[in-house]
Amino acid sequence: MTTLLIADDHPLYRDALRGALSLSLPDLVLREAGDLTSTVDMLEQEDIDLLLLDLHMPGSNDLFGLLHIRKLYPDVPVAVVSGTEDATIISKIVGVGALGFIPKTASSSDIADAVHAILDGDIWLPASVSDHIEDVDAAFSELADKVASLTPSQYKVLCYMRDGLLNKQIGYNLDIAEATVKAHVTAIFKKLGINNRTQAVLIASQLELEPPASSHAG
């Protein structure tokens, strides 16, 4: 029996994936999660053979969800499901350990093919981008590994720093004390090997996954 976890915050899309996979792969056991926390809880509780991960569900924020899960569960195969089909973004996703990228526009048969391929240990990419994937450089891989060591709370603080918020504003948005924000900032600097907010902003900006204006983020 093969157990697959669909991690996406849109119930309708989870239903669509469930329908497509149930028809094509009737022996699958399907589990669902709607945010990063529940996804990690599910991975902790069950042996998951494949995770289909939405990049933009709550807590995931760009590459962080993928990096965080790959750090915690390096043996769990992950395929990213997203609304963007930008080759640069997909290159980053594959570069940090995803075994596949499934566009939200993919047909039921393509989704089934992707799941079969990844469960067999192959990498699956849409034909439209497979010839345009580039290797990520060593510096980006090292950066991604450092960011993966952050906790979800620390990553939220890092994103707010990227957006230019002060500690007091970050504390207000996260409903935590300013002293707690300062502790998070200190931990972030230490884990990332930096010593100021400007460097933190540069790092966070490199992890942003901004799809082209004509696309819709998934």
CATH code: domain of residue 27? 3.40.50.2300
pLDDT (mean) for 106-121 = 89
Whether residue 161 sits in one domain with residue 200:
yes
Residue 142: predicted pLDDT:
87
Q: Can you give the pTM of this predicted structure?
A: 0.83
Give the C-alpha separation, 188 to 42, whole Å: 27
* pLDDT score at 47: 93
Q: Tell which residue, 117, 65, 3, has the closest CA to residue 82.
A: 65
- 43 within some domain: yes
- Give the number of domains in the chain: 2
Same domain, yes or no, for 121 and 163?
Answer: no
Same domain, 126 and 152: no
Is 185 in the same domain as 113?
no
Q: Is residue 215 part of a domain?
A: no
Domain boundary among 132, 167, 192: 132
The string of pLDDT tens digits covering residues 49-94 is: 999 999 888 887 778 889 999 999 999 999 999 887 778 888 888 8
- CATH number, domain containing residue 176: 1.10.10.10
What is the β-pairing status of strands 50-54 and 78-82?
parallel
Q: What pLDDT was estimated at residue 90?
A: 87
State residue 136's pLDDT score.
78
Q: Are residues 174 and 159 in the same domain?
A: yes
Residue 144 covered by a domain:
yes
Q: 155 and 111, same structural domain?
A: no
Check residue 23 and give its pLDDT.
78
Pairing between strand 28-33 and 78-82? unpaired
Residue 217 lies in a domain: no
Q: Which of 132, 155, 189 is the last residue of a domain?
A: 132
Percentage above 90 pLDDT, the chain:
49
**Residue 102 sits in the same domain as residue 146:** no
Whether residues 150 and 43 fall in one domain: no
- pLDDT recorded at residue 215: 32
- Position 114, amino acid: A
Give Cβ neighbours of residue 25 (< 8 Å, ≥ 6 apart): 2, 112, 115, 116
> What is the percent of the chain with per-residue pLDDT over 70, rounded to a whole number?
95
- What pLDDT is recorded for position 132? 76
Alpha carbon separation from 46 to 4, 32, 112, 160, 193 (Å, rounded): 10, 12, 22, 33, 34
Question: Comparing 16-20, 40-44, 119-123, 132-136, which segment has the lowest mean pLDDT?
Answer: 132-136
Q: Check pLDDT > 70 for residue 96.
A: yes
**pLDDT attached to residue 211:** 39
Residue 212 resides in a domain: no
Give per-residue pLDDT as tens, 157-202.
Answer: 999 998 899 999 999 999 999 999 999 999 999 999 999 999 999 8
Q: Which residues constitute the domain of residue 181?
A: 138-207
Q: Could you tell me if residue 190 is inside a domain?
A: yes
Residues 65 and 148 in one domain: no
The verdict on residue 214 lying in a domain is: no
